[in-house]
């Protein structure tokens, strides 16, 4: 009871009174309390102290790791559970698949898929719950084709609205907007009723491809036809859709029209990014002033505003914004790119030279940049938003050349056989210069490059990207 109420201290007092030999059920209850509250080290201490662990105890510990952003530990625990002889159930498998989805390691996901397919256990089978977790894992790991295949393998009775939602969101994240809208039509034709999650998927799909009219109609239909009150996430999708399409003032009016829910930081950042993209400095300044005045500004707000001024060459205002950041104690989130090689994930930041193969990486990077120049690529030095001398082109080109995604690409090229697809994940939005270089490299090397940024997947094949240069 105390654990469910979130009172860890009271729960622990009772638990300590059961010493020296508490029952495994009591330990699991205490462990679950710690895991739920994010006190994972305390939970793990209890877990490791148990001489005999049942399945529920293993699942509770894995759940704590997956819920609080420690997927590597969750996956290691799953493998350790198998070695210990405890037979997993579908909850264990779904938790492990969730961990893989967070890590983005498709090879680990395929191993789990094989485990499900070949398992003789009655506890684990490909049903709606496991199938949906597989679909979610595959599309988040960059393999939409595998997600579609799993969906096709599900029986008609297992294709519930949750499975359809995973498929719609998978299509949307990979830029297959028409397929997402077609899936919406199919689920309706089969008599399924869409949920708020369904509409997040289809509205995101519209945003990624600039389908303004379709997005407006879907947003209208939510309340009028399906009785679903739009949430902040749905408004956010619409603001993103309108902002990317250049309808910045309309997007701002939509934000101002919100009465039942307040716009969140993501929505404001999306609107501010649209102001930057379409060079609407006046509205961008108004939005930034509003956020700062109301204590809503975060690092993204300041960075976007700073970038707007830098792009316009207004270094005085850039200095003012950066001074405000320092005064507020806010630091810019550093860009980080990770590349998957087998079941290993290697991370890089801009200018990173910490890897043991740094000399090889930078040699390949020079080759990549030379490859791009030979194909007519001109570095987008206007994207270098440091206060560098306008005439110092070489310094700006060097700053672009060592972006984290280019380092990850170079490492992928030297670490995998020719023709192998390369998968890169970045924590921030794709850099336009890097996007152009990745297209050229895919053409020259004949490799498929799958790149996931903060918003979506980009698939580079033969010199083109599935986003159509709209992101």
Packing angle of the helix pair 196-209, 232-244 (nearest 10 deg): 10
Average pLDDT over residues 272-290: 84
What the block records as the tokens of 202 is: 């289809």
**In this model, does residue 343 exceed pLDDT 80?**
no
The CA radius of gyration of the chain, in Å to the nearest whole number, is: 24
The string of pLDDT tens digits covering residues 397-432 is: 777 788 899 999 999 999 999 999 999 999 888 888
**Enclosing H/E stretch for 171:** helix 161-173
**In this model, does residue 387 exceed pLDDT 50?**
no
At residue 91's C-alpha, the angle toward residues 164 and 40, to 5°, is 115
pLDDT at 192: 96
Q: 343 vs 48, which has greater pLDDT?
A: 48
Q: Put the strands of the sheet holding 344-349 in their side by side order.
A: 344-349, 336-341, 422-426, 449-452, 457-461, 464-465
**Enclosing H/E stretch for 28:** helix 24-36
* SS3 category, 159: coil
By CB atoms closer than 10 A (0-12, 13-18, 19+), residue 359 is exposed
Q: 276 vs 161, which has greater pLDDT?
A: 161
Q: What is the mean pLDDT of the chain?
A: 88
* SS3 category, 17: coil
The string of pLDDT tens digits covering residues 60-83 is: 999 999 999 899 999 999 999 999
d(CA 193, CA 212): 23
Per-domain boundaries in the chain: 336-465
| Stated length of the chain | 471
pLDDT at 24: 82
d(CA 270, CA 469): 18
* SS3 category, 398: helix
- C-beta pairs of 186-191 under 8 Å, 24+ apart in sequence: 187/161, 190/159
The string of pLDDT tens digits covering residues 230-269 is: 999 999 999 999 999 999 999 999 999 998 888 887 888 8
Residue in 127, 59, 52 with CA at minimum distance from that of residue 99: 59
pLDDT band at residue 318 using 50, 70 and 90 as cut-offs = confident
**In this model, does residue 389 exceed pLDDT 50?**
no
pLDDT at 88: 93
Contact 97, 136 (CB under 8 A): yes
pTM of the complete model: 0.85
The string of pLDDT tens digits covering residues 123-150 is: 888 899 999 999 999 999 999 999 999 9
**In this model, does residue 369 exceed pLDDT 90?**
no
pLDDT at 380: 64
Residue in 347, 421, 423 with CA at minimum distance from that of residue 72: 347
pLDDT at 303: 76
The neighbouring-strand residues paired with 347 are 338
What the block records as the tokens of 13 is: 């007092």
pLDDT at 382: 55
For the chain, percent of residues with pLDDT exceeding 90: 58
Average pLDDT over residues 143-163: 94
The string of pLDDT tens digits covering residues 195-227 is: 999 999 999 999 999 999 999 999 999 999 999
* SS3 category, 19: coil
pLDDT at 265: 78
At residue 58's C-alpha, the angle toward residues 57 and 60, to 5°, is 65
Concatenate the DSSP letters of all residues of 201-259 into one string.
HHHHHHHHHT-HHHHHHHHHHHHHHH-----HHHHHHHHHHHHHTT-HHHHHHHHHT--
d(CA 174, CA 389): 39
pLDDT at 441: 94
Average pLDDT over residues 454-465: 92
Percentages (nearest 5) of helix, strand, coil residues in the chain = 65, 5, 30
pLDDT at 241: 95
- C-beta pairs of 50-54 under 8 Å, 24+ apart in sequence: 50/24, 52/24, 53/24, 53/84, 53/86, 54/24, 54/28, 54/86
**Residue with token string 């030279």:** 353
pLDDT band at residue 388 using 50, 70 and 90 as cut-offs = very low
């Amino acid at each position: 009871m105390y654990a469910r109420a979130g009172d860890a201290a009271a729960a622990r007092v009772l638990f300590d009174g059961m010493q020296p030999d508490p029952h495994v059920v009591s330990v699991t209850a205490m462990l679950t309390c710690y895991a739920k509250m994010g006190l994972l080290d305390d939970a793990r201490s209890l877990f490791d102290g148990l001489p005999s662990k049942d399945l529920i105890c293993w699942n509770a510990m894995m759940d704590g790791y997956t819920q609080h952003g420690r997927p590597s530990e969750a996956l290691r625990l799953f493998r350790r559970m198998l070695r210990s002889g405890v037979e997993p159930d579908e909850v264990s498998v779904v938790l492990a698949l969730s961990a893989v989805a967070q890590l983005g390691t498709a090879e680990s996901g395929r191993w789990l898929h094989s485990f499900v397919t070949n398992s003789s256990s009655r506890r684990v089978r490909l049903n709606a719950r496991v199938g949906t977790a597989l679909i979610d894992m595959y599309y988040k790991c960059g393999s939409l084709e595998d997600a579609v295949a799993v969906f096709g393998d599900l029986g008609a009775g297992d294709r519930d609205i949750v499975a359809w939602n995973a498929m719609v969101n998978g299509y949307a994240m990979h830029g297959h907007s028409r397929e997402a809208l077609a899936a919406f039509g199919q689920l309706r034709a089969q008599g399924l009723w869409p949920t708020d999650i369904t509409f997040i998927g289809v509205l995101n799909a519209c945003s990624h491809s600039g389908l303004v009219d379709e997005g407006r109609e879907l947003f209208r239909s939510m309340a009028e036809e399906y009785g679903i009150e739009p949430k902040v996430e749905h408004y956010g999708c619409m603001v993103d859709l309108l902002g990317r399409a250049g309808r910045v003032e309309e997007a701002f009016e939509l934000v101002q029209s919100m009465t039942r829910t307040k716009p969140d930081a993501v929505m404001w950042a999306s609107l501010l990014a649209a102001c930057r993209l379409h060079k609407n400095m006046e509205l961008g300044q108004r939005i930034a002033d509003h956020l700062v005045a109301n204590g809503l500004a975060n690092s993204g707000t300041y960075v976007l505003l700073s970038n707007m001024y830098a792009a316009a060459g207004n270094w005085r205002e850039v200095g003012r914004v950066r001074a405000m950041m320092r005064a507020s104690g806010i630091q810019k989130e550093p860009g980080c790119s990770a590349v998957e090689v087998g079941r290993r994930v290697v991370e890089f930041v801009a200018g990173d030279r910490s890897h043991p193969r740094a000399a090889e990486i930078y040699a390949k990077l020079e080759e990549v940049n030379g490859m791009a120049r030979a194909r007519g690529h001109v570095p987008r030095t206007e994207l270098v938003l440091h206060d560098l001398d306008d005439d110092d082109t070489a310094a700006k080109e060097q700053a672009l050349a060592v972006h984290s995604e280019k380092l990850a690409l170079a490492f992928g090229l030297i670490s995998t056989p020719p023709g192998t697809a390369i998968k890169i994940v970045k924590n921030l939005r794709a850099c336009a210069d890097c996007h152009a270089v990745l297209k050229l490299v895919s053409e020259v090397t004949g490799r498929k490059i799958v790149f996931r940024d903060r918003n979506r997947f980009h698939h580079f094949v033969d010199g083109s990207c599935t986003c159509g240069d709209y992101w």
